Structure 1
Amino acid sequence: MNAYRMKPLAFPWPPLIYGAAIAAAFLLQAWFPLAVSDTNIWIARAAGGALIITAIVLDVWAMRTLLDSHTTIMPNRCSTHLVTSGPYRFTRNPIYLGYTLATAGMGLAMLNPWCLVTATVAAVVTSIVAIKREELHLLSRFGIDFERYCTGTSRWI
């Protein structure tokens, strides 16, 4: 199959990666509990809630932008248009950034510091497993336009 028609991923891994990160954080907290200071717990919970709300808004905005551009949301399907508007003006991966923020926010809201660690690990794994492959797909589909977009927009933030 030529690179132009190649799918970016055979399976949509990122939601599973972040789901595994959340599960791992709760298992790690059960097996190797990290103590959380009792002072200002409400600040951590409020910050966690703010991160979760930000993540939801970012994900919905990104998905709406993809739908409005008549291209796929699913990372295992071929893109039909290069989307550079909406949240894609600020980050090339707003949905994955939303997943990362939501995972970290859950850790703060539920006072589980392991979520912060596993959110970072999930972001690294997503970069290796999904983003690199998706970027190759977009480069083969959109060429110089995608290269130009990459020079002006960072991968995460």
Structure 2
Amino acid sequence: MKHFPDLPPIWMLGAMLLSWILATMVPILSLFSLGLRWLGLFWLLLAALLVLWSAFWFWRKKTTIEPHKTAQTLIVSGPFWLTRNPIYLAMVVAAAGVGLYLGTLSGIIPVIALAIVLHRRFVLPEEAGLKAAFGAEADAYFEKTRRWI
């Protein structure tokens, strides 16, 4: 685990893989329907668009998108006007989309774990870093913008 790349996309892919394993091996409350599959695909598309929109703002503001690095700019526009963590939100939505596509309750369970991991390992430390770097400006942003949705 020492050389494990501690990156949010790795955690998201792990949650998606675990969703597939659980839905296949331990299908709790199968809810399969064509409507759920389409909804799952829609959520995946929505998540991808939110990541692209967010990445554009990182590029536009010339600040790092990498977790565990110090931001040079506090982004409060674009998707960051709606939520402080649009990329992490998109990752949870994408994992939920996979869970919906799989059509079992067991396929949704890893999504909850993913949200908890992202919150504890990335969101809270990043917010502390933003507060340290931007002080009152970060406090004002945190006060008016929700952490997730």
TM-score by length of 2: 0.90
- Superposed, 1:22-33 pairs within 5 Å as 22-33=16-27
2:30 paired with 1:14: no
1:24-73 per-position Cα deviation (integer Å, ceiling 9, x unaligned):
222222332224245xx121011111111110110100000111011011
Aligned twin of 1:61: 53
When structure 1 is superposed on structure 2, of 86-95 and 28-37 the one drifting more is: 28-37
Q: How far apart in 2 are the matches of 1:59 and 1:80?
A: 20
Q: How far apart in 1 are the matches of 2:130 and 2:29?
A: 44
Q: How far apart in 2 are the matches of 1:15 and 1:53?
A: 16
Gaps of 5+ in 1: 1-10
Q: What percent of counterpart residues are identical?
A: 29
2:39 paired with 1:47: yes
TM-score by length of 1: 0.86
Aligned twin of 1:7: none
AA aligned opposite 2:111 = A
After the TM superposition, list the runs of 4 or more consecutive aligned residues in structure 1 that deviate by more than 4 angstroms. none
1:76-131 per-position Cα deviation (integer Å, ceiling 9, x unaligned):
32200000000000000000000000011111123243332211111011111111
